[in-house]
Amino acid sequence: MEKVFVPRGYQIELFQRARDNNAIAYLDTGAGKTFISVLLLDHVSPSLMKRDGTRKWAFFMGCTVPLVQQQADALRKQLPNLKVALIVGDMNVDGWSEAAWRQKFEETDLFILTPQILVNLIMHGFFKLSDSALLIFDECHHTIKNHPYNQLMSSYFRVPSHLRPKIFGMTASPLLTLKVDDTLYACQMKFQQLESRLDSTVFTVSDRSELKEYISTPLEEILLYDPTIPDYIPPHVSYMMDQRKVIGRICSDYGRIFQDAIDILCDLGPCGCYLFLAIIAKNFLKSKLHPRMSAPARNDIEISMQIVESSAENIRPSANVAKGYIGKAHRLITQLHQNLANFEDPSFRAILFIQTKLEVEVVRFILKYFPAFKLKIRVNFLVGHQENFYGTGMDMKSQNKVVQKFKDGKINLLIATSVGQEGIDIQPCRLVMHLSPINNVKDYVQSRGRARHKDSILRLFVPMGDYAQVEFLGKIQQAERMMREAVYLREDHQRFETDDDGDFYEISSTGARIDLHQSVSLVYQYCGKLPGDRFTDHFPKEEIFYAEGGYQCRVRMPLMSPVKMSEGLVKSKKKLARASAHLEMVKQLHKGGHLTDFLTCDFQLEDLQLELESDQVEISENYVPEIPQVLCRPLQIDLNQDDVQVEISRWTICTFETDRIWSLGIVLPNWIDPADLPSMENLTVSVFHKEYPRFHLENIAKFHRNLFSIIKPGLYNNSKISTRKSYLFVPLIGSDIDWDVILQVETNLKSIPAVDLLQLENFNIETLFPGKVVTRKNVGGHFQVEKIDFDSTADSKFEKTAGFRPTINLEKEKHRTYVEFYADRGIHLNFPEFPLLQVRRISFRKFQDEVQVENIPFELCTVVNIPGKFLEGSVLLFRHLFNWERRLLTIQFEKDMKFEEFNLKIPMGMLQSCLTSRNVEPVANYERLETLGDAFLKWKVSVWAFSEFSQGHEGQLSILRAKMISNSNLRKIGILKKIHRYISMNPFKLEDMSVATLRENSEISIPQKIVADVVEALIGAFHLCESGDPFLKWMNIPCEMKSIPQPIQDPNFDYSTFQEIQDVLQYQFKNPEILRQALTHSSSMNTSCKDSYQRLEFLGDAALGYLITGMIYKKHQETDPGKITDLLIFLVNNDMFAQLTIRYGFHRHIHLESEDLALAIQKYVDGIPSTWDLDAMIARSSFGSDAPKTLGDIWESIAGAILIDSDMDLNKLKTIYLDHLMKDVISIGPNQVPIHPVRELQEWCQKKSHRCEFRTNLENGDTKVHVVIDGEEIASASGSNKRSAKFLAARTATKKLNTNL
């Protein structure tokens, strides 16, 4: 292996020890511990790269994500032969299945990860430690108590000794629990404990002299500061001090902030204290507030915070350090002033360690506003991931960005919390300052490790007169020396096997195993994946009580959990009793089938044991499109060869005759069924048969080529007629081919410049040009000469000719002659005396009723030797043939799909619309049917899933339904059935009518959504023909409904409370427990109801969508599909259903236990008029309302309850909801639907060619959206969520723009 780094002597020494035995390398920060692990990994690499049954894997673990990411970068460079995988929690590894992990192991030799991931792998049985060759523990001193390192070692000791992997630990401060008063003996005992936990021996270098060549020891200084509390305290600070007791009584979490503020007051002075409180206030008001705090408490705290936040502008740091800054702040500023010259050195780096994130922000704020610092000190901060009352954390990407800037010199002063002491590789510094007290040996060793630069200094801030802290620092230094001495003097250690107390649960089939410590997190993880909204408490409730002999715990699960309660064993400690109850819950969840045999709670489709046919087949993106068989011939004609092989005796000729063009014919290779001939307006089609010798067929083919060579020059260069699509165009005279025209075109194919015709003896402009096809110099397109304009020459001025629309702007050019006009364009006319040709443009795109003509000089023309009417008529014929092809393809589609065998009948016109996109046909396309099919499919799949998986919760059913009706799945089904081969996707193109453009087996691709839309359109069409269910079966989409079990009524519950709702519904429930369930929110835990409304809401949502869509489809047959969609969005949405819930008073019967949800509902209800007004509801434009989702869900869940109680009677639901409760609402027409302001704004900007953006930020706990047009903010608005804020901002912007215009 090529080495990037040459090992040092002490590294080789420790590698050799680690190679022979499990070892812990005790080395200073920066001594190169990681490279020892590189040597070990290189040593075991042969076992990692085996591809047989003896293959092993290696794991490098770090306690933090930034650490493992940095180590991954280093190890990839040092070990290029190994396949390295970085695995972190942000990759959603908790959701990976056993198959996903198996694939990852197949492609990986070395895993770099955090230890909890490996612990979970072993717990779920996805990996066995006996399959590992080497475990590397970075910062291994964390192997204590319930740390994942310790949990991993518990699994290690359960492996037979001869199958255990090698262990290598690395640390700069091995004894995390070392106290300054510990004796040498105590220190040795703690070393033995660490060695026992890691089954390893601690080693360090035998001779530190070599180490000193690479590691610098910083000069250590103590900086004393005056801790005196100032006499003057700003009034706002005093107010907040007075409030601390009030707020502390409301919420202890927030109350402790003000004790911290007092400490800040002593350390940083009044200005620092006030900045501390001001930042706290801002963070509080931007946050969503504490989720478990009562609404009145939040209101009281918010008022207090607003007082401070509103005064934030009254204070700014002063350059006069004597004013407003005392203690540490004064001493720090003085130190930085003294070191300003050092900061000018590009290589100078400094770190300032501070205890909390908010103190970091305060100090950064102070330093930012000192003018002397701005030019020389470039400050930034580094904090951990976790969010708390002191502000938000930094994600891994932000941390790495700051560290890189510090390394590059863009930052020369880094203010950091403890995250900067270990876990991140930081550039060696010349100055390290510790503003907060050092609490233990580890803090001291790791902070000092950052001062690794030559001539570096470590400065520790200590209050004047605090001799105890000075003495404490001395003891820390002594303890570190003692710790190093103990490594050399300790006796042989005794190792322990495991501290497992026997409480565990193991699955023999997979090897998954969970103990007491792991059970709590797994139950919480399971609850976190249960369905619910933001008002649902997704945590289990724990009740610990005294029992004989100790403590016992009872765990009660959220309402949506299928297992409601568990009790653990009696334990001596509360903590163990709690874990025992959770372990019992794990057992029940697994035995009930709610956890897999790998003890995973991944609520994916595998949990419902569904295998879709489309999942089993590889789908190709490309395909060969179908061609109507009647147009296919089993031969190939090479148009570039003289010898043409033809093996056919009889042809069919279809004639197309109109009053504007000549008779034209299409030569086809197969017989045509007269029933399959096109029936089009102003078009007569007849059939006759002729036999022609081979050379005649050659002439026809050449004529076809010549015709398209004129239309599309270069089309037939080195090309062949495709064997997949064969028909030829011919001119007709009577009942036969006009061979004179064919011969004329063949013998005079070359276009002739008009000026060359002057050489003819019989040149006569009046007889040579009328009716001819010409092209014009420097202008594209073909023109037909209508007549000679003897009244005009090139010297004439432009004049408008009555009855014609010219292509030249005559109004603009009317005062100029043709000669002048063309001269300006660089064209000199040599024969201006000749009369002008009056020409008409021939359109190859569409047949135009409005004629485009103009006068042009003849010398600019080139004559194409083909009759103009024939050329133009051919183009019209091509369009008719294009539509005929689509019909023939539809007929063939019905036969190929064998619909008759499945008794599937559908009108041919409707079937053709299903296979036609809007690009091809603006009206008769699949869009309307697709809308209906989408709703019907959603309904049928929902009913099937609801009945098939009676234990599946709403989240699982929604995932299942979403997968089955997704565009991806429908596309796969369409391709499996080969439907995509028959779709008419592209509009008419003239070149597509040439048989040369389709090569043999040429493939094309089609967008995923088009295939899915066509499938939905076919579903909608067959549903209209009362064959919806049979067609779904033909598509292999499950739709059969099983019997649905009814909930058992509670004899202790008074169901008469629901009589009011039943009176409104005009429906009496046979089983009122269903209605009770429909009104129970998932936040309800103190209830005998067995389930919440969410499953019923899932069913009712699909039913109402289907019924309303079907009603709109039948009622608005001629309405544009886009408007139909807008109407559906307006009628079927949470805002509309929420208003209807309030209208009929259903909200008064909801059972919930969330105070916040109750307040949100009441707030929304207060904004709804007491009397129902349909016009007011429409004017309210419910697109942007803040309706709690629960209100809309209740409307749908009651619909679901009616279905279940009435044995799935859709007509009953339609009678109650559409014909009764929603009768006036569904009378709303498409033109009454207000345009969504976001859409209105976007359409306005698109029309005006403006760029529109929506920018979002949080402000005072709400979402604020800014409308920016062409870089300028036009309007803004706030809302409780992004959707409502965007609606309000767009509405404000459109009003403003309309007013200004």
Tens-digit pLDDT profile for residues 467-479: 778 888 888 887 7
pLDDT > 70? residue 262:
no
Q: Which parts of 502-613 fold into alpha helices (H)?
A: 516-528, 574-591
Beta strands in 1006-1162 (DSSP E): none
Least confident of 230-244, 383-397, 601-615, 878-892: 601-615
Q: State residue 319's pLDDT score.
A: 41
Q: What's the rounded mean pLDDT across residues 513-519? A: 86
Is-contact 683 873, C-beta < 8 A?
Answer: no
Q: State residue 85's pLDDT score.
A: 93
pLDDT > 90? residue 1234:
no
Residues 6+ apart with CB under 8 A from 321: 329, 330, 333, 334
Task: For 51-77, write each residue's pLDDT tens digit.
Answer: 677 889 999 999 888 788 888 888 988
Least confident of 532-536, 829-833, 969-973: 532-536
pLDDT > 60? residue 835:
yes
Tokens of 1283: 């959707």
Tokens of 313: 């502008």
**Rounded to a whole number, what is the largest CA-CA distance in the chain?**
129
| Helix/strand/coil for 760 | coil
Tokens of 526: 């399971």
Cα 156 to the chain's mean position, in Å?
A: 39
Q: State residue 256's pLDDT score.
A: 62
Is-contact 259 275, C-beta < 8 A?
Answer: no
Task: For 238-261, write each residue's pLDDT tens digit.
Answer: 655 555 555 555 455 555 666 666
Q: Highest mean pLDDT: which of 475-484, 790-799, 983-992? A: 790-799
Q: Highest mean pLDDT: which of 69-73, 358-362, 371-375, 568-572? A: 568-572
Task: Supply the DSSP string of 676-698, one letter for each residue.
Answer: GS---TT-EEEEEEE---HHHHH
Q: State residue 932's pLDDT score.
A: 94
Tokens of 483: 């710790």
Q: How far apart are the first and last CA of the chain?
A: 73
pLDDT > 50? residue 1133:
yes
Identify which has the larger pLDDT, 528 or 788.
788
How far apart are alpha carbons 272 and 358 in whole angstroms?
11
pLDDT > 90? residue 173:
no
Going by pLDDT thresholds of 50, 70 and 90, the confidence category of residue 1211 is very high
**C-alpha count within 13 angstroms, C-beta hemisphere, residue 247:** 21
SS3 content of the chain, % helix, strand, coil (to 5): 50, 15, 40
Q: State residue 258's pLDDT score.
A: 63
pLDDT > 90? residue 911:
yes
Identify which has the larger pLDDT, 872 or 545.
545
Is-contact 1117 592, C-beta < 8 A?
Answer: no
Q: State residue 97's pLDDT score.
A: 85
pLDDT > 70? residue 195:
yes
pTM, rounded to two decimals:
0.68
Is-contact 1095 1204, C-beta < 8 A?
Answer: no
**C-alpha dihedral sign at 1199, 1204, 1207, 1208:** positive
Query: How would you list the strands of the sheet with 166-171, edge to edge?
Result: 84-87, 110-113, 57-61, 132-138, 166-171, 23-26, 201-203
Least confident of 90-99, 202-211, 266-275, 357-366: 266-275
pLDDT > 90? residue 811:
no
Query: What percentage of the chain reaches a pLDDT higher than 70?
Result: 76
Residue 1103 is given by DSSP the state: H
Query: What percentage of the chain reaches a pLDDT higher than 90?
Result: 20
| Helix/strand/coil for 319 | coil
Is-contact 1107 1218, C-beta < 8 A?
Answer: yes
Q: State residue 671's pLDDT score.
A: 63
Q: State residue 641's pLDDT score.
A: 46
**Other beta carbons within 10 Å of 247:** 21
| Helix/strand/coil for 551 | strand
Residue position matching structure tokens 């429908």: 970
Angle at 972 between CA 971 and CA 976, to 5 degrees: 120
Q: Which amino acid would we find at residue 575?
A: K
Going by pLDDT thresholds of 50, 70 and 90, the confidence category of residue 1018 is very high
pLDDT > 70? residue 604:
no
**C-alpha dihedral sign at 1159, 1161, 1163, 1165:** negative
Residue position matching structure tokens 């518990």: 154
Residues 6+ apart with CB under 8 A from 735: 688
Pairing of strands 379-382, 413-416: parallel
Task: For 1062-1097, write each residue's pLDDT tens digit.
Answer: 999 999 999 999 999 999 998 887 777 888 899 999
Phi-psi category of residue 1066: left, alpha or beta, with phi > 0 → left and psi -120 to 50 → alpha: left
How far apart are alpha carbons 900 and 934 in whole angstroms?
24
Q: Per DSSP, what are the bridge partners of residue 856? A: 837
Residues 6+ apart with CB under 8 A from 620: 975
How far apart are alpha carbons 1090 and 1109 in whole angstroms?
33
Going by pLDDT thresholds of 50, 70 and 90, the confidence category of residue 387 is low
Beta strands in 310-452 (DSSP E): 350-353, 379-382, 413-416, 431-434
Identify which has the larger pLDDT, 456 or 809.
456
Going by pLDDT thresholds of 50, 70 and 90, the confidence category of residue 1002 is low
Tokens of 1279: 């809302």
Task: For 308-333, write each residue's pLDDT tens digit.
Answer: 555 444 444 444 444 455 677 778 88
Angle at 878 between CA 872 and CA 884, to 5 degrees: 145
Least confident of 90-94, 99-103, 640-644: 640-644
Q: What's the rounded mean pLDDT across residues 980-1007? A: 66
Q: State residue 863's pLDDT score.
A: 85
Residue position matching structure tokens 């959504």: 1009
Q: State residue 529's pLDDT score.
A: 80
Phi-psi category of residue 441: left, alpha or beta, with phi > 0 → left and psi -120 to 50 → alpha: alpha
Q: State residue 622's pLDDT score.
A: 66
Q: What's the rounded mean pLDDT across residues 358-364? A: 77
How far apart are alpha carbons 482 and 46 in whole angstroms?
40
Q: State residue 188's pLDDT score.
A: 79
Torsion of CA 282, 283, 285, 288, to 10 degrees: 170
Torsion of CA 104, 109, 115, 121, to 10 degrees: 40
Going by pLDDT thresholds of 50, 70 and 90, the confidence category of residue 619 is low
Task: For 131-152, write each residue's pLDDT tens digit.
Answer: 999 999 998 988 888 889 999 9
**Other beta carbons within 10 Å of 1266:** 17
Q: State residue 299's pLDDT score.
A: 63
Q: State residue 570's pLDDT score.
A: 92
Averaged pLDDT score across all residues of the chain: 78
Is-contact 951 1041, C-beta < 8 A?
Answer: no
Q: What's the rounded mean pLDDT across residues 1272-1276? A: 89
**Other beta carbons within 10 Å of 1263:** 18
How far apart are alpha carbons 1025 and 277 in whole angstroms?
70
Identify which has the larger pLDDT, 748 or 128.
128
* Rg (alpha carbons) of the chain, rounded to whole number: 42
Closest CA to 1060 of 1147, 954, 945, 1184: 1147
Q: State residue 129's pLDDT score.
A: 92
Is-contact 1265 1282, C-beta < 8 A?
Answer: yes
Task: For 1019-1071, write each residue's pLDDT tens digit.
Answer: 999 999 999 999 999 999 988 888 888 888 988 888 999 999 999 999 999 99
Task: For 549-593, write each residue's pLDDT tens digit.
Answer: 899 999 998 888 888 899 999 998 888 899 999 999 999 999 888
pLDDT > 50? residue 498:
no
Q: State residue 1125's pLDDT score.
A: 83
pLDDT > 90? residue 720:
no
